[in-house]
Every structure is written in structure tokens, then in C-alpha cells.
Structure 1
Amino acid sequence: MSEDVAARTGTAGISGAGARTQTAGTPGAPPPVCEWPAQDLTGTRFDPVLAGLMDQGPLHRIRLPHGEGWAWLVTRYDDVRMVTNDARFTRRQVPGRDITRLAPHFKPKPGSLAFADGGDHHRLRRVVWPALSASAVEGRRGRAQELIDGLMDGLLRDGPPADLVERLLAPFPVDLVCEVMGVPPEDRAQLKEWTDQIVFPAADASATGQVKERLYGWLGEAVRARRGSTGEDVLSLLGAGVSRGELTEEEAAGVAGPLQIGGEAVTNNTGQMLYLLLTRPELLAALTERPELRPRAIDELLRYIPHRSAVGLARIAEEDVELHGHTIKAGDAVYVSYLAANRDAEVFPRPEEIDFDRAAQAHVSFGHGTHYCVGGLLARMQIDLLMDAVLDRLPQLRLAVPADEVPWRSRALIRGPRALPVAWAIG
């Protein structure tokens, strides 16, 4: 009998809120399989299932709502960094497997950086890097500030109350990402609609799949139209790369898709950060009165916020690996939890507290190793500019509704407020 079947026939127990753990039989056996259900968590509440697993130890087996079988889960900071930077754990086999997962729809596109390893990953990433490098991002800072200033001017002109998500946090990242990508203004609303439907998927997996096909079809046509281009936007770089034979049109669309969707993460992460500040006046006052704290404070907020639900994408063990007294066998699926790593008490003392004076430690909110977020530098610049704009230009900022009336995204892969109604002092 397989370990999976054995786990299914175990005795059910409770681990954390909403988690059902099936107990293993004998000492030295693999960890029990924890059933991790889909949850609609609101606010910045840390996932109780994940918290329960972290309390139990560093290595687990989990079963998520979709896909087949179980997967390993790594939660400790050092282990997460090891797995994500170790060539024995790869992504290239994942698209061919129906691995247990959170998302109802899973149909990876060829060329996606998320599923490329080694030389292939370098080959694909190199094509778009000129648009996403530190110098390229810094070169867009002035234009990014112009976009924010225009949105803030309109917000101040109309006066309070206002929804920060609708007026600032949603439109700014989309507008900037579309410029970086090279999406024509007339197509941006349609792409925003498609990305919303992908990040906040419908219960009907086929509907989500159809939306992904439309988005990737549009991106493929855009790349095809720019073959041989000398432009500096992402779609032009991809078109030129296709002309040089560095990647195929299908791969180019696979690279472009996650980059186009990336603006949603900035919207929701910044929304969570501002919600935290608005519900903890002492933190808001510190960043308003001491702007020099902001870079370090934003790192601390990025460490703290539960920026996603459950876990992201799995890896596959290419060979047997011993970890914490257990054997992760070749072919086993392995998840890491960046959320758990950011709450590892051995690295971040009192991890449940937000401490702007915390000694510097590298959070892993943008990932680690080969699959560190390719748009991470752009995302961080956007977050910095958004936070500065809100803190500097909206005096005496406060929620315009009780905190428990702030609406949150439901069935979201990326967590965040659906609206953030605020008011501020005029004059």
C-alpha cells in the first residue's frame, strides 16, 4: 500500500483551525498528511492551518483542495532558502504532473519562467532583463512618479472619502506595468479584466482557463507583431528575441503572461500594508513623522503581511534528499512556504510583532534563488512610491469605515482588500 493510501486510511485529528491531519502509524514513519482546505481569510490574519503546522515542526506532508496525492511542505527559513537554491529541486517536471494544489485551474504555458530551470531559465530571463534590471527600473522612476502624482491630484481635488484601491492602488501598478510591457492604451482595460479573473479565479476552472487562453493569445499576437523590433519594452524585447532565435513565440507569451499579471501583487500587498497602518495608529504616526524609517519599515511590512493564500508553485525532487530525519524521494513534490519562513522565530525574534527597528534580515517575500521574482525590483519601487504618496499627501489619514467593514478579496490567490475607504484632513 502506498504512503498516500496509508495516510488516507489513518485516524483523523485536528491541527490548527480547519486542518485535518491523518496520523501516521509507527515511529520513524513519514509525517502525517495534513488536509489544507481552501479558506477565505480576511484582514491580515495569518493562516491558522500554516501556523499549526509551523508549531508542529519543520517538515510536513500536505494535501490541498485540487490535484492529486500529497506534497512535502518546508517551513523553516534556512530550509526554504536551501530548497529554492538547490539544483536537486526543480520545476521543469511540474507542468506534466497533477500535483496537489490550491488553484482549481492549472495549465502552465511553455516558456513560463516559473517552470524553467538552469540554462533554460537563464535563456528566457536574459531576453527581458534589459527592461527589468536595476538601471532600467530606476530609469522609469520619474515616469512612475508622474503617474502617481496625476492620480493623487485627482484624489485630492475630489476630496474625502475615497477608496484608495479604486483611485490609486489598482490603477497605478496596472498603468506602469502596461507601459513597461508595451501594451497600447486602448487594450489596457481588457488586459486588466483578464488578469483580475486569473488572480481571483472563478469556481469554474474551465472559465478561468478560457480567460488565460485569451490573455496568452493576445500576448502571442503582440509578440508576433514586434518581431525584429528595437523597442525597449518587454513585448518588443521578446519580439526581437524571437527574431534572433533565442526563444519561440509560444515561449515569449509564456514569459510575458506572469509579468503582465504582476501588477495585481503590488495592489494587494500595498493594500494590506496600508490597512495595517490604518488599524495601528502608532505605526502610521511613526512613518508619517519619521520618513527615514520607511525603507526598513516597508521591508518589515513585506515580511509580516500574508501576501498570498496557502502556498505557490511546487518543485520536484530530482534525487533522494534527507531532511530533518525524513527522505524526500526522487519524484516527490515539494512546496516551500515563504510566509512561514518570514515568521521563523530563529531568524525574526517575536515574528508576530511588527518592529520597524528590527535588525536587518533578508525576508523572502519576493522569493529566493533561481526563481526570485523577475519583476521584484519594479514591484519594490512601486510600493515605495505608493507608500510615500499616501503618507506625505494625505494628512491625518484614517479609515472611513470601521475596520471590520473593510471588504476583502474572496477566493483570492493573492490576498488584499477589495476596497480601502479612507478620509483625511482638508486644508
Structure 2
Amino acid sequence: MTATQQVRTYPFSEEPGIDIDPLYGALRRDEPVSRVQLPYGELAWLATRYEDVKTVLTDPRFSRAAAQGKDQPRTREEMTYEGIIGLDPPEHTRLRKLAGKALTARRVNEMREGAVRIANEFLDDMVAKGSPADLVEHFALPFPITVICELLGVPFEDRTKFRVWTEGLTSTAQPLMSLAEELFGYMGALVAQRRAEPTDDLLGALVKARDNDDVLTEQELLSIAGVGLLLTGSETVSTHIPNFVYALLKSREHFELLKAQPELIPNAVEEFLRLIPLNPAAMFPRYATEDVQLSNVVIKAGEPVLVSLPGANRDPEIFPEAEKIDFRRENNPHVAFGHGPHHCLGAQLARMELQVALELIVSRFPDLDLAEGDAGVEWKKGLLVRGPKLLKVTW
């Protein structure tokens, strides 16, 4: 670090909403690899350009495993449970391969009909309770949790426990390890049942997903099912459904466009994934195992680097008119789900659920609107994800 490089407090701001701090754009242009200090942990570098972000996510000289045992830069005092996210190839590759045998594109495609049924049931119930309604409580929260519970084979009556664990594990205040122990204890009992009596659900498939060279330990299996799938399969979707709906209702012409051309909904999901950040701050630093140059900065061996996915997703070098919503964008290689070896395990499942949610909301509620304008929107605070905790809508 040179004498002229400023250390900035990070996250830059905690303003609610779906936009990102304009400082990301300024840094991407003028100081693409900058020094930042998070609330906890050591100083870090922050990469904001698309190509630099991809390099950090794919170059083996940047290691997640090397982060273990370090005072990692983070937003919560307690270290986040990482599981498979804290591994490098080949260990990480082995677990991804086994998880991939269970969560295939075919399985996700076969789930769509069930996801439509579940979504319609919650929307029917919302309609029955009458307008206005809180879209978060009545639909965005229960829909993905019910889908993932059916996928994993979790008893329907236990889905409320998953909601408590999911919300707790993304809080910056709640005791992380005690919640993780509760979740893993519960999942461990279900795994034991599958071993005694095999099933065709995803948890049963994970138990069976092993060969002579690739054997999942119980802890590895619980990490994939409990963190890799539960969090990505529920929290991401339950946060982004109200984010996407809010964006559509604040940009009415785009809502009308999807009503007229519902075939654009998959494109709309990708565009909103690109534009709307899920996390208020970068997470899971990579540590350089040797000196590496990024843009005009040399990252020294042993230094941590964070990547700004929202910053990369608005890089005008990659995305023409990057700040503009464009449902007809032809090339959209966003990194909202990460990139490289740690690309989100549940990305296809999340995509499918988000597509189903938008399809049904747009088709069933053509006159949907914010019930009280921005006064009827309450934003999450103190969480590792950002989005509405209350979204009052009328139809």
C-alpha cells in the first residue's frame, strides 16, 4: 500500500433500498483495487472491476482454504460458518461433484411444476386474506422454504424451524454457532433416517451420492444440505422476490412490459440479479498465496482480497449502459451467483423459483401496486442480506 492509498470504512453505507453506493462506481473507475476496513478482522483489498473480480474468483493463487484460522475481514464479530465455501480444489471439487449428482438440471426442471403449485397455494391464501397484504410474509418467505423442504424431504410441519434457522444464520447479531448446531443436529437425524430407510428426495440422493473414491463424511453432507442448499435455496429467493417486485413497481413500464411479453421473464430475472445486490458487503475473502498483480496494485502473499459482485455487475466495460434495466440485454454474464469453483451450488434452483414467482405475480396481479408507497416498505437491518422485511401491496 502506498502512502496515497486511503483506507475506507466498509461497508461504505447502510442505506436501505436496492441501489448500491455510488462510491463503487467511482472506485471501479479510479481505484479499482482499494484498501478497506470492515467492522471486524484485518485490513483487506476490495476489487470492483469485472475482470479483477473474475481473476480473484478463479485464479488458484487466491485461496479460500488459506483464510481458515486467519482474522478474516468480516461484518459480524463471530466467524461465519463456511463449510464447502471454505475449501479449495481438489477437496472442494470432490464435494461439488457429489452434490452435482444429486442436484441436477433435470431434477430442478422436474421441480418446476411443484414450485408452481406451491406458489399458487400461497398466493391463493394471500388473496383470500384480502388486499392490501404483506407480500413478504404471505409469499416471499414461505414459498422458497416450502420448496426446499420438499426438495430435501423435510417434514412440512417443521418448515417454521427452517425459517428461524435461516433468518438467524444471516443475522449479524445472533449467536451463529448455536444456531448452526441446532440446524446440523436436526439435519443429522434426517440423514440417519435416510441411511436406515433410503428415499428418493434430495437428502436421500445426497446420502447415496458416493463411490469408491468420493465418500461424503456426515459433516460434509450436512454442510451441503444445511448451508449450501438451505441458505441458497431459501434466503436468496425470499430476499430477492420482494426486491424484484419492488423494482418492478417503482419502474412501472417494466412491469407492463412483462405483462405484455411474459417470455421476457427469464431475462428479467437475470437482469435483476445483475443490478440488485443481495448482500450489503462483500464476504468470504480470498488470501493471496503469492504476490499477484490486480490492475495497478500488487497483492502481497498473505493479504486478503474481497470481491464486489455488485460492482463487477455494473462494469460498463462488460455491460453497455450498465446502470439501465434492460430485459432484452443480449449478453449478460453477471456474477451474482459468483464465478468459478465456488459458483453458487443452488443457482439453478434459485433461478427457477424466481422465474416462477415473477410469472405468477405478473399474470395473477396485473394491477399490483405498492399499498402505501415507500411508507409501506420496511427494509431489513443487521443482516448479511438486504431487502424488504415488509412489502405492502394492493391489487
> Does the alignment reach a TM-score above 0.5?
yes
CA RMSD of aligned residues (A): 2.1
Q: Which residue of 2 aligns with 1:310?
A: 281
Q: Which residue of 2 aligns with 1:80?
A: 53
Q: Which residue of 2 aligns with 1:63?
A: 37
Q: What is the aligned counterpart of 1:347 among 302, 309, 318?
A: 318
8 Å contact 1:114–1:371 — kept in the other structure?
yes
Q: Which residue of 1 aligns with 2:20?
A: 46
Q: Which residue of 2 aligns with 1:11?
A: none
CA distance 1:418–1:310, change in 2 (3 Å): same
- Ranges in structure 1 where 5+ consecutive residues have no aligned partner: 4-23
Deviation of residue 300 (structure 1)?
Answer: 1.2
Shifted more, 144-153 versus 362-371: the winner is 144-153
State the alpha-carbon separation in 2 of the partners of residues 414 and 129 from structure 1: 26
Q: What is the aligned counterpart of 1:366 among 337, 353, 356?
A: 337
8 Å contact 2:269–2:351 — kept in the other structure?
no
Q: Which residue of 2 aligns with 1:386?
A: 357
Is residue 2:187 matched to residue 1:219?
A: yes
Q: Which amino acid aligns with 1:213?
A: E
Deviation of residue 127 (structure 1)?
Answer: 2.3
Shifted more, 231-240 versus 258-267: the winner is 231-240
Is residue 2:69 matched to residue 1:91?
A: no
Is residue 2:173 matched to residue 1:199?
A: no
Is residue 2:239 matched to residue 1:261?
A: no
Q: Provide, for residues 183-205 of structure 1, a one-character-per-residue CA deviation record: whole Å limited to 9, x for no partner.
A: 12232211211111111332x5x
State the alpha-carbon separation in 2 of the partners of residues 51 and 310 from structure 1: 15
CA distance 1:25–1:158, change in 2 (3 Å): closer
State the alpha-carbon separation in 2 of the partners of residues 241 and 166 from structure 1: 35
Deviation of residue 37 (structure 1)?
Answer: 4.5
Deviation of residue 326 (structure 1)?
Answer: 2.3
- Ranges in structure 2 where 5+ consecutive residues have no aligned partner: none
Task: Within 5 Å, give how 1:229-308 maps onto structure 2.
Answer: 230-241=198-209, 246-258=215-227, 259-262=229-232, 263-308=234-279
State the alpha-carbon separation in 1 of the partners of residues 66 and 294 from structure 2: 21
CA distance 1:398–1:343, change in 2 (3 Å): same
Q: Provide, for residues 219-261 of structure 1, a one-character-per-residue CA deviation record: whole Å limited to 9, x for no partner.
A: 2333233336543333323433579770211222222222112
CA distance 1:115–1:208, change in 2 (3 Å): closer
State the alpha-carbon separation in 2 of the partners of residues 350 and 104 from structure 1: 38
8 Å contact 2:81–2:177 — kept in the other structure?
no
State the alpha-carbon separation in 1 of the partners of residues 223 and 186 from structure 2: 12
State the alpha-carbon separation in 2 of the partners of residues 228 and 38 from structure 1: 51
Deviation of residue 94 (structure 1)?
Answer: 1.8
Is residue 2:177 matched to residue 1:209?
A: yes
State the alpha-carbon separation in 1 of the partners of residues 16 and 386 from structure 2: 8
State the alpha-carbon separation in 2 of the partners of residues 256 and 41 from structure 1: 33
Deviation of residue 55 (structure 1)?
Answer: 4.1
Deviation of residue 39 (structure 1)?
Answer: 4.5
| TM-score, length of structure 2 as denominator length | 0.93
Shifted more, 326-335 versus 219-228: the winner is 219-228
Deviation of residue 218 (structure 1)?
Answer: 2.0
Q: Which residue of 1 aligns with 2:78?
A: 105
Deviation of residue 351 (structure 1)?
Answer: 1.8
Q: Which amino acid aligns with 2:79?
A: F
Q: Which amino acid aligns with 2:49?
A: R
SS at match of 1:366: coil
8 Å contact 2:11–2:280 — kept in the other structure?
no
Deviation of residue 151 (structure 1)?
Answer: 1.5
8 Å contact 1:50–1:310 — kept in the other structure?
no
Shifted more, 166-175 versus 397-406: the winner is 397-406
Deviation of residue 155 (structure 1)?
Answer: 2.3
8 Å contact 1:95–1:107 — kept in the other structure?
no
State the alpha-carbon separation in 1 of the partners of residues 330 and 211 from structure 2: 48
SS at match of 1:382: helix
Task: Within 5 Å, give how 1:119-198 maps onto structure 2.
Answer: 119-198=90-169
8 Å contact 1:132–1:377 — kept in the other structure?
no
Deviation of residue 66 (structure 1)?
Answer: 1.2
State the alpha-carbon separation in 1 of the partners of residues 40 and 202 from structure 2: 33
SS at match of 1:420: strand
SS at match of 2:35: strand
SS at match of 2:378: coil
8 Å contact 1:242–1:249 — kept in the other structure?
no
CA distance 1:418–1:176, change in 2 (3 Å): same
Aligned length: 392
CA distance 1:38–1:223, change in 2 (3 Å): farther
Q: Which residue of 2 aligns with 1:377?
A: 348
Q: Which amino acid aligns with 2:98?
A: V
State the alpha-carbon separation in 1 of the partners of residues 172 and 3 from structure 2: 38
SS at match of 1:419: strand
Identity %: 38
Deviation of residue 293 (structure 1)?
Answer: 2.1
Q: Which residue of 1 aligns with 2:3?
A: 25
State the alpha-carbon separation in 2 of the partners of residues 140 and 281 from structure 1: 31
State the alpha-carbon separation in 2 of the partners of residues 343 and 423 from structure 1: 32
Deviation of residue 297 (structure 1)?
Answer: 2.0
Structure showing greater Rg:
1
| TM-score, length of structure 1 as denominator length | 0.86
Deviation of residue 63 (structure 1)?
Answer: 1.0
CA distance 1:33–1:242, change in 2 (3 Å): same
CA distance 1:201–1:107, change in 2 (3 Å): closer
SS at match of 2:337: coil
Shifted more, 306-315 versus 352-361: the winner is 352-361
